[in-house]
Chains A and B, each alone.
Chain A
Amino acid sequence: MTRLGLPPVMWAVFGLVIAAGWVGAVHFLVVHVLMRRRVSEELPPRLLRPRHRA
């Protein structure tokens, strides 16, 4: 069963490539545009702990 001459497994690979590429754009659109959550310009607090020095 092919569509546009491509077998399902190739459709899946191309679909995964596009989905992976669009993850960031979709996340930004949903979280920061639609839900209006501000992009934090500060380091996340859990990363602010003093770093273990050698």
Chain B
Amino acid sequence: MTVGNPWFFAAFVAYLVVVLTIGVFAYRRTRNVMDFWVYGQQMGPWLASASLIANFVSAVSVIGFVGSVYVEGYAIAAHTILGLMLGLAALYFVVGAIRPMQVLTFPDLVARVTGIEASRPVAGLILLVSGWLYLVMQLVGAGLLVSAIMGVPYGGVVAIIGVVFIAYTVLGGLVSVAWTDLLQGALMILAVLATLVFMVVDLGGPTAMNEALAALDRSYLDPLAGGRYTWVGIAGAMLAFFGTILTEQDMLIRIAATRDVRTAKIHVAAAGAVLSLFYVGLVLLGGATTVALHRAGIQPAQPDGAFPALITGYVPTGIGVVIILAVMSAILSTTDTRLHATGMTWARDLYSFARPKAGERDLMRVSRWATVVLGLTATGVAIQPPGPIIVLYAFRAVLLTSAFFVPVYLALFRPGLDGRAVLWAVGAGGVAGIAAQIGQDALGAIPATFTGVGASIVVLGLAHGLRRRGSGGFGS
């Protein structure tokens, strides 16, 4: 095995050792299944905020956002990041209604607002598939990145990362995830900030950097990317990302893990404030990367290769090591959360529904085994990812928002809504959203999320009206 830069490799190995050590520490603090699932619902504001921030910034966002700026400029701030920040703002205002309900997962919330216990495994299955696919894609992104930077074989990198994050997640559950996130969140923010400052100074200041970007192509500084997007298309993408913040399993688990409503509100508010500044910085870093690579005559093979190319071909080794640590933080802080959430979905939403009398030891055992099995299968698939999974990944945001967003949150704030009507709307929104995403060309300018959300609203209204009039059309 040939190692590209021994300092990069040493940073990678040292990092894995530190997070494994935290995993062993967390194992000793995990006494029961509530500790494993939701930190015993005792997470304080500092730990909860840092953990949410670290989980939020994934490998896909660090690599993908910089790659996106390399291709189309700052437009990603409008069509993706603004939607995510609006989603966090909305989550802050609904958290006061969710946390007192004592629900642990999103399917718990669905069951609570519909009054139909059988909706738990249905929603759980959708979220399990969605979460597992996200896990695979995180591992694929991480493997490609680390492999490109360090010059080590892709399969080996995925296997090593897979084994380490499975090990510390299975040891301490959310206790491991939260404490490793605390380290990872701090590292990530400091590293991106340090790199941004280095790059902006290196390129002659922010004005010179942005003018150089505009000189390459004026559309780089256009929110519509020079006509690549329409305002309607941007609104559709914003809605999709906005909705995922309110419908993802791991967000509900984190709210459940906080010790009270006050802490839940503080951690969402603090994360929104920090992340908005972080993402603006990351987009500007993407601009700096684009200018630097063009000046140096470096052409990455694909957009996602822009950031690795900056690390290996432009910045000095010291800054490169800092970036490696940031990237590893982004990778592991998101993959561990997703793995923990999928393991918990299996144990809490599927297994405990099938066996409601399962004891604590049984649930803990199933949680750990589910974490191992789901983690290993995701790692195995990520080593040789089939094309369809990559295609399906693009549907995730559309599916979650189209299916769950309007029916579940409307039912949360309108307790009189009929439970079955809500479930019909979930099904209709999910199917319509996915169908629209598949047939996007046929629909022209109408974003798939608008179609899915629109279908869920129409079906919810019709089904609720029919049920209340006792027409018997929906199994009354």
* A interface with B by C-beta (< 8 Å): 2, 4-7, 9-10, 13-14, 16-18, 20-25, 27-28, 32, 39-44, 47-54
Contact = CB atoms under 8 A, between A and B. Distances in A.
Interface residues of B, number: 57
Contacts of A27: 92-93, 269
Contact of B100 (A16, A17, A41, A53): A41
Contacts of B417: 52
7 contacts: A5-B221, A6-B210, A13-B78, A14-B280, A28-B265, A49-B416, A54-B423
Contacts of A20: 82, 85-86, 88-89, 272, 276
B276 A47 contact: no
Interface string B74-105: 10011001100110110011001100110000
Nearest to B74: A10
Nearest to B81: A17
Interface in B47-97: 74, 77-78, 81-82, 85-86, 88-89, 92-93, 96-97
B272 A22 contact: yes
Contacts of A4: 206-207, 210
- Looking at chain B's contact residues, the main secondary structure is helix
Given A21-B276, A49-B415, A40 B96 contact: yes
A22 B272 CA distance: 6
B276 A17 contact: yes
B248 interface: no
B206 to A, nearest CB: 5
Shortest beta-carbon contacts, A-B, top 5: A21-B276, A5-B210, A24-B92, A24-B269, A20-B85
B272 A21 contact: yes
Given A17-B81, A18-B280, A24-B268, A54 B273 contact: no
A7 B85 contact: no
A11 to B, nearest CB: 10
Contacts of A32: 262, 265
A43 B85 contact: no
Contacts of A9: 222-223
Interface in B187-211: 206-211
B270 A25 contact: yes
Interface in B410-450: 412-413, 415-420, 423
Interface of B: 74, 77-78, 81-82, 85-86, 88-89, 92-93, 96-97, 100-101, 112-116, 206-211, 213-214, 221-223, 260-262, 265-266, 268-270, 272-277, 279-280, 283, 412-413, 415-420, 423
A4 B85 CA distance: 24
B266 A28 contact: yes
Contacts of A7: 221-222
B416 A43 contact: no
Contacts of B283: 14
Given A5-B207, A10-B221, A40-B261, 14 more contacts: A4-B207, A5-B210, A7-B222, A14-B280, A17-B276, A20-B86, A21-B273, A21-B275, A22-B276, A39-B260, A44-B96, A44-B97, A47-B97, A52-B115
Contacts of B415: 47-52
B273 A39 contact: no
B89 A23 contact: yes
A10 B101 CA distance: 41
B42 to A, nearest CB: 15
A50 to B, nearest CB: 7
A28 B271 CA distance: 13
Nearest to B268: A24
A28 B423 CA distance: 34
Contact of B88 (A21, A43, A47, A51): A21
A20 B273 CA distance: 8
Nearest to A7: B221
A5 B223 contact: no
